[in-house]
Amino acid sequence: MVADPSPALPEVLTKLEQAVGRHEDGASYADDHERWSLYRAATDTPAALPLLFQAVSLEPDGPLASGVVGDVLERVPRDERQRWIHLLAPAVRAFSERRAHDLGVLESLAQGTVSAEAVDELMASWSDWLQHRAVDATADQDVLRVVSRKGRTKKIRQAAANALGKN
């Protein structure tokens, strides 16, 4: 069920439209697909992120807001992610919380602060998305060996094996 939109949302959407270079006079964003399109354009426009934050805070469609936040999490610094997640209703936060955690793991892998032993212990709890992205996040041969052996899917194991061959 979608909540009633805030009376402030149309004004924020108009400002967001201008910030991303869309000037659709009289555009109606009553349809969630139209709002999604605008939000997607805003995620790719760093200067529009403050307005996008405001729009998401007013967004009446929880799953739509969750999708937007999920996309934004990859584009904002680690210390801003919880702020975005807390915009969401508790009923739709789980995906974004998981994605923020996964992104933190990827950043740790890229920085070399996660040992192969830790990967070996934790990898079973990782999403397929995280396992696949981990291959690109690290050049650590020991970590790649663990992923090549324990990856959940053949595609993940093969990607890790290929990465081992390149290094």
For the cut 90, the answer to whether the pLDDT of residue 22 exceeds it is: no
For the cut 80, the answer to whether the pLDDT of residue 80 exceeds it is: yes
**pTM exceeds 0.75:** yes
Listed in sequence order, the residues at least 6 apart from 58 whose beta carbon sits closer than 8 Å to its beta carbon are 5, 6, 8, 9, 12
Cα-Cα-Cα-Cα torsion 71, 146, 117, 98, nearest 10 degrees, comes to 20
Write out the two tokens for 63.
């799953």
Residue with tokens 């923020």: 100
The pLDDT value given to residue 166: 78
For the cut 50, the answer to whether the pLDDT of residue 1 exceeds it is: no
Write out the two tokens for 68.
């937007």
Q: What average pLDDT does the segment 65-74 reach? A: 96
For the cut 50, the answer to whether the pLDDT of residue 56 exceeds it is: yes
The kind and range of the H/E element at 110 are: helix 94-111
d(CA 126, CA 132): 10
Percent of the chain with pLDDT over 70: 93
Q: What average pLDDT does the segment 74-95 reach? A: 95
Q: What average pLDDT does the segment 108-118 reach? A: 96
Q: Are 116 and 146 in contact (CB under 8 A)?
A: yes
Return the higher-pLDDT residue of 24 and 152: 152
d(CA 137, CA 106): 6
Largest Cα–Cα separation, the chain: 57
Digit-coded pLDDT (tens) for 120-151: 999 999 999 999 999 999 999 999 999 999 99
